[in-house]
Structure 1
Amino acid sequence: MLRIFATICIFALLHPSAHAADEGPCFSEGGSAQISACLDRELQGADKLLRDKQARLVEHIKTMKAPHLIAEGQFRLKYFNVIRNADRQWRALMATECSSIAPIEFEGAGAGSMGRVLELNCRVSRTYMRIKEIGDGEGYRHIWSQ
């Protein structure tokens, strides 16, 4: 039963007429190979946007004043290390999470090109969510406001 449901979901995912315009341009590309190639390009673009957002955050931190009795360099270095470690951990989480989707959907069987579509779509989606989180998420809001 689960396999039938997963197959229907994958067909709906890959069938161009089943997608609204706001689900991205890649799903009107044709077959799963074309969709994968398009999603891979979209992921590269999203990753560039994420790195640009992180670079702007670092530039903003360079302008922040350290609290009383804390050296400016030490203050900024702590923020830089936190951002670098958060990015490393977030990328590891995303990789684990997104690579696990296809085996779950296909009950451990190799999903082939459809699994690649699911994984890439997950990575693109998570990357855009991360960009938004760095921009206005609660954990970063206090940095941008200083």
Structure 2
Amino acid sequence: MLVRRKHALRRAKEEGDLTPDGARRHEALGRVMAALATEAEFIESCRDLTWWRGSDDSWHLEWRDGPFASEVAVLLAERLAVPGDVTPAGPGSEMSAVLDVMGVRFELHAIDPMGTARVRAKPGFWRLAEALDTTRRTNARHPWEELLGG
């Protein structure tokens, strides 16, 4: 009995990802995301953090609430402080900023940002630093005591 197999059309691989430039582009994204992941305050204050690759091989990062885009640009410049790896590619504002990380352009977009100062002052915002602060003396239970059930 003759059996014919149907072959699915194969998608063409993106050539840009198989080149050294593609590897550098993804390494730059990894470094930026790792730097942001170390900032608990940034992660806790942002909603809907998304990223995508632009048509010109740049990366776009976008979030709601949280810090201003210019504050995130300064934060990334401090965290990725290898000389020549991070340079501002344009003026930053509250809503957008542009960075050049390892020769890869990053466009930062903040939607309805509050700014770092307002995030820290926001009532009800649970901060990890407050939860772990054992030096405060209050009559109420410490946040870390509530976490540990003590």
> Is the pair's TM-score, using the shorter chain for normalization, greater than 0.5?
no
**What's the TM-score, normalizing by structure 1?**
0.27
Q: Say which structure is richer in strand.
A: 2
Higher relative contact order (CA 8 A, sep 6+): 1
Q: State which structure, 1 or 2, has the greater radius of gyration over its C-alpha atoms.
A: 2
Q: Say which structure is richer in helix.
A: 1
**What's the TM-score, normalizing by structure 2?**
0.27
